[in-house]
Amino acid sequence: MEHLVDVERVSKRYPLDHSFVRALDDVSLRIRRGEFLAIAGPSGSGKSTLLNLIGCIDSPSSGHIRIDGIDTSALRPAAAAALRRDRLGFVFQTFNLIPVFTAEENVEYPLLLRRMTESERRRRVAEALASVGLTERARHRPDLLSGGERQRVAVARAIVHRPALVLADEPTANLDSHTARQLIDLMGELNARLGVTFIFSTHDQRLLDRMDRIVRLCDGKVIEDTGDQEAQHAQVSIAGL
């Protein structure tokens, strides 16, 4: 299947007093396997909401999201959790590492949720840490690692189970420019070498400059999609109104 992610006319509303706030408004897009893509926009544009919906962390108010042909909008909670566990990887702005675990234990954690032998887990953890250049830091806890190293541990954890898709929410926001560039280079290399699809939520220009495709949101709507000629035509039409 060419398209890994299919977002079809998705809206998301949140209740507010006796009314509601519309975080996303009739958003549609298709994401191909192996893309290196950013969802961009100012705070409140809906980019994190869209990332959470694609990641099965939340459910749309209307519309459909399909991952590998599976309509995630119709999944029960247990099935959605299984899809996250088996097919998705996550990288968070605040790292979300377990502070009492070493780097290798943090990376191993997603594998403990699977039926996998200890030897296989150890092999995959070693490969994942080597791929992010942290073999020598495997036994260190997060408090003994720099911010960049912690985020690389988070990337290793996201790819250790070989997901089809990694979702990264503002992954460079807490990093200095040099460390951010190193992390961006790393994720770009993993995308090219492993074929993992990356979707970022970001307004960091350092990251946007490296994207193959950028989907821009404003007030919950797609206003630009550099990889979708139809969306670009719609943007021009709206601008001419």
4: left (phi over 0), alpha (psi -120 to 50) or beta: alpha
Residue 66 one-letter amino acid = R
Query: Does position 227 have pLDDT exceeding 90, yes or no?
Result: no
Q: Over 60: is that where the pLDDT of 32 sits? A: yes
Q: Find the mean pLDDT for residues 27-42.
A: 96
User: What are the structural domains of the chain?
Assistant: 33-59+76-239 (3.40.50.300)
Q: 182 — phi, psi (to 5°)?
A: -65, -40
pLDDT for 112 equals 92
Is residue 37 predicted with pLDDT exceeding 50?
yes
Note whether 35 and 198 are within 8 A (CB).
Answer: yes
DSSP state for residue 185 in the 8-state scheme: H
pTM of the prediction?
A: 0.89
Mean per-residue pLDDT over the chain, rounded:
91
pLDDT at 158: 96
Q: Which two tokens stand for residue 203?
A: 């307004």
How far is the C-alpha of 106 from the C-alpha of 187, rounded, in Å?
19
Identify residue 120 by its one-letter amino acid code. E
pLDDT exceeds 90 at position 11: yes
Residue 178 pLDDT level (bands cut at 50, 70, 90):
very high
pLDDT band at 16, cuts 50/70/90? Answer: confident
Contacts of 187 (CB under 8 A, 6+ apart): 36, 155, 166, 168, 171, 198
Tell me what percent of the residues of the chain surpass a pLDDT of 70: 94
Looking at residue 205, its pLDDT comes to: 92
Phi and psi dihedrals of 62, rounded to 5?
-155, 160
**Burial label, 2 (beta-carbon count in 10 A; 0-12, 13-18, 19+):** exposed
Residue at 30: amino acid letter: R
Residue scoring higher pLDDT (178 or 19): 178
